[in-house]
Amino acid sequence: MTTLPIYMDDHATTRVDPRVVEVMLPYLTSVFGNPGSVNHSFGWDAQQAVDASRQSVATSLHAQPKDILFTSGATESNNLALRGVCLRNEHKGKHVISVLTEHHAILDPLDRLKRRDEFDVTLLPVSNHDPNTIGTIDLQQLEDAIRPDTVLVSVMFANNEIGTIQPIAEIGELCRKHNVLFHTDATQAVGRLPIDVNAMHIDLMSFSAHKFYGPKGVGGLYVRRDGPRPKLLPLVDGGGQEGGLRAGTLNTAGIVAMAHALELALDELQTESTRLSQLRNHLYSQLTNKFSDLLLNGPNLNGLGHRLHNNLNVCFGDVDGEALMMSTPDLAISSGSACSSTNPEPSHVLRSIGRSDDETRASLRFGLGRFTTLADVDVAVQLLTASIQRLRAMH
Ligand code: PMP
């Protein structure tokens, strides 16, 4: 049974899992103390919950509890990582390397560093030749771009539009070899892929609970505390929380929820990856059966590990994507990043992989998730088919 409207926009956000809500609720009602209140049991209980959650998040990422900073989400974590590292390490150099297909929560802070603080920013192009690796960076190009004054390399783990998974461990190794700090925006990867910050040589990593069935407004930044230890300039001053790096009363309920959401996601990771890639592939083959001019955006769906298993992004030939979404109100999909949907510019990600403006405008993104069923996929295909027939009849 499918209930309308159908939600297929899990890259934008996910529904909070009822099991997470249950664990979180007491921290809004009975255990409501401020974890910073050191003089009474309300504060101690809240602090204990934060400590246990920090331990749990660290374990999930193969990190140490002291490496985890709680923030309001990935946008804040990205800003803290980029501006925090760059502004604290200006004496070492003023060069940063990142990628053309990053989210605006990376590109905009980089732009500010460039304009306001006179940093030199290199944005690497991505591959669009080999169908298996579309959207990945070239490691040789990265190595060639590293200079003596490079302070930071920031490469997203998995892309929010086309699902490309970057060769993170190799990038980490390269950065370590050249003594450059490595940050990854892992917002779309945490909870969907196994991550070991040590094995992957990650120095800083951003993540956000609402992408893995936790609530909005809570996230984290992993900051390695041993080995090549990044020094950060805080962006927010105040009560000295989080070692002075991120002041502000901790969001106890959100933090508890995020830790539990991540545990659940990792417990179910294997079975969910298989289930979702089968559903996603079924969606794609149904769509290709109906529309002969369908074009896949991003890496092949063949399971070589270069694409998120829940992601599909396709170009519907001559159909306008916005018009298609408007005429299919019972299906929630997207034309790209939710965060830039107020910006009518065609997607910079699709442009970077060589799509024309017309192809970009005809493209739509599907993000399947924990609550997507086979029936949802079949109904979604029927809804889209009916809409496209209507739109084509109007021309
Ligand atoms: N980075 C990526 C890759 C994202 O997909 C998003 C969310 N769309 C963000 C950063 C921003 O995350 P948040 O909503 O937690 O600020």
CATH homologous superfamily of 6-16+269-394 equals Aspartate Aminotransferase, domain 1 (3.90.1150.10)
First to last CA, the chain: 34
Cα 349 to averaged position of ligand 1 atoms, centre (Å)? 15
CA atoms within 13 A on the CB side of 310: 30
Q: Which residue has the tokens 């779309």?
A: 188
Cα 291 to averaged position of ligand 1 atoms, centre (Å)? 31
Peptide bond into 131 cis (omega under 30): no
Spatial neighbors of 375 by CB under 8 A, at least 6 apart, are: 1, 2
pLDDT in tens, the chain (395 residues): 799 999 999 999 999 999 999 999 999 999 999 999 999 999 999 999 999 999 999 999 999 999 999 999 999 999 999 999 999 999 999 999 999 999 999 999 999 999 999 999 999 999 998 999 999 999 999 999 999 999 999 999 999 999 999 999 999 999 999 999 999 999 999 999 999 999 999 999 999 999 999 999 999 999 999 888 899 999 999 999 999 999 999 999 999 999 999 999 999 999 999 999 999 999 999 999 999 999 999 999 986 789 999 999 999 999 999 999 999 999 999 986 554 445 667 899 999 999 999 999 999 999 999 999 999 999 999 999 999 999 999 87
Beta bridge partners of 7: 332
Q: Report which ligand 1 atom has the smallest distance to the Cα of 12.
A: 8
Of the residues 16, 187, 334, which should be mutated to test ligand 1's pocket, given the most ligand atoms within 8 Å of the CB?
187
Nearest Cα residue to atom 13 of ligand 1: 74
CATH number of 18-266: 3.40.640.10
Q: Which residue has the tokens 């890639």?
A: 277
Q: Is there a catalytic annotation at residue 339? A: yes
Angle between helices 252-267 and 269-290 (to 10 degrees): 80
The answer to whether 168 and 204 have CB atoms below 8 angstroms apart is no
**Cα–Cα distance between 383 and 82 in angstroms, integer?**
42
Cα 93 to averaged position of ligand 1 atoms, centre (Å)? 28
* DSSP-assigned letters across all residues of 118-187: --EEEEE----SSTTSTTPPPHHHHHHH--TTEEEEE--SB-TTT-BBP-HHHHHHHHHHTT-EEEEE-T
Residue ranges of the domains in the chain? 6-16+269-394, 18-266
Cα 160 to averaged position of ligand 1 atoms, centre (Å)? 8
CA–CA distance from 209 to each of 51, 179, 190, 217, 322 (Å)?
17, 31, 9, 8, 28
The pTM assigned to this predicted structure is 0.97
Nearest Cα residue to atom 8 of ligand 1: 12
Identify the residues whose C-beta falls under 6 Å from ligand 1.
73-75, 103, 105, 156, 160, 185, 187-188, 208, 219, 337-339
Of the residues 80, 104, 188, which should be mutated to test ligand 1's pocket, given the most ligand atoms within 8 Å of the CB?
188
